[in-house]
Structure 1
Amino acid sequence: MRAKGFTLIELVTVIVILGILSVTALPRFMNLSQDAHDSVAHATFASFESAVDLYHSCWLVKSAAGHVKDLKCFGAGDIDATVTGFPLGQDTELYGDNGQQLTGDFCAELWQGLLEQDFNIAMHADSAFGGENDIVYWYIGGAISNPDTHCYFNYISDNPAKGQENWQMRYYPGTGEVTVGKATLG
């Protein structure tokens, strides 16, 4: 009677082949978490850019000229337009110049007014870099006529430690431009 089964050499060969496959495939699977975070950041920032474009289209369709308080055809209708027709924030006339100044509060209002999402957002400060926040925001500049004036939003959910490189979106309310790239917050 002949015995059926694998020889020791065949068994060792299969184990070695499986070991080699797992060593080469494991790093790819370990990186899926970062790929998922990158995808979430890109999709969210793309949604923000689309919302800015839709808001501006609404401003154009309404034949609005200059600053508009509470543009009613987008979202909850409580976001004011800049003099160029792009979203700026809520109650922008309180800061004077009717839609020509950017403040940090406006950046948070834009995020919450243009997007329907469940991210925890926090103002850029040392306390923002904790495990519970997903987005850190603030602004640079003041007058929207300054081409460097923008809100920035950093996706820190994947690496919330201060000084780490994360995805950053910049929104320039004077022109409606949105840029996305890597940046490090100090």
Structure 2
Amino acid sequence: MKAKGFTLIELITVIVILGILSVTALPRFMNLTQDAHDSVAHATFSSFESAVNLYHSCWIASSAPGHVKDLTCFGSGEMDSTITGYPLGQDTATSGSDIDGEVLKGSNCEELWHGLLDDKFQLAIHSDAAFTAENDIIYWYSAKDVTSPDTHCYYNYISDNPAKGQENWQMRYYPGTGEVTVGKATLG
């Protein structure tokens, strides 16, 4: 009579092989969540940059000189431009000695995000209270005059790690030139 099934040696060999595979594959699978967050951040920031370029192309095609209020050929037609033709925000008219299209305010950064992207991200102004699991992006701005090379909005993707002082993906948008940069940054 022939025995059917596995021998003890075959069973031990299979268990050892499965153990080796799990030890080598486990670290890779543990990083999948972070890889997914990195991909979301990069894809979103790339979409923002593409939208900036589309907006600027629309501004060029409209033959508009300088600042344009409510550029109609882009999106819902509610985005205003800088004097150089890049998106600045909604209702960017200024008062006093400021020239329309030359002043960046903190509220413009959120208007830019929602005016250029159609997404479900929860944005919050950069403050201590913003570092919560409910928020995906923390934003604010640096400088005011868009003709200054330092003037930019920054957007930090904190959905993967909302703790204050952690390194996250950051995008900076310079409305005077339309430049978009992406890198790692730590917000305090």
Q: Find the counterpart in structure 2 of residue 56 from structure 1.
A: 56
Q: CA deviation at 1:97?
A: 1.5
Mean Cα displacement is larger for which, 117-126 or 86-95? Answer: 86-95
Q: CA deviation at 1:94?
A: 2.9
Give the Cα–Cα distance (whole angstroms) in 1 for the partners of residues 54 and 112 of structure 2: 13
Q: Find the counterpart in structure 1 of residue 125 from structure 2.
A: 123
Does the CA-based 8 Å contact 2:94-2:103 persist in structure 1? no
The letter for the 2-side match of 1:109 is: E
Which secondary structure state, in structure 2, belongs to the residue aligned with residue 38 of structure 1?
Answer: helix
Give the Cα–Cα distance (whole angstroms) in 2 for the partners of residues 47 and 2 of structure 1: 66
Q: Find the counterpart in structure 2 of residue 145 from structure 1.
A: 147
Structure 1 unaligned regions, length at least 5 = none
Runs of 4+ off more than 4 Å: none
The letter for the 1-side match of 2:174 is: Y
Q: Between Structure 1 and Structure 2, how many residues are aligned?
A: 186
Q: CA RMSD in A?
A: 0.8
Q: Find the counterpart in structure 2 of residue 78 from structure 1.
A: 78
Q: Find the counterpart in structure 2 of residue 182 from structure 1.
A: 184
When the two structures are superposed, what TM-score results if normalisation uses the length of structure 2?
0.97
Give the Cα–Cα distance (whole angstroms) in 1 for the partners of residues 61 and 5 of structure 2: 77
Pair 1:164 & 2:166 matched: yes
Structure 2 unaligned regions, length at least 5 = none
Give the Cα–Cα distance (whole angstroms) in 1 for the partners of residues 129 and 77 of structure 2: 32
Residues 18-72 of structure 1, C-alpha deviation per residue, up to 9 Å, x if partnerless?
Answer: 0110111111111111111011000100000000000000000000010111111
Q: Find the counterpart in structure 2 of residue 67 from structure 1.
A: 67
Which secondary structure state, in structure 1, belongs to the residue aligned with residue 84 of structure 2?
Answer: coil
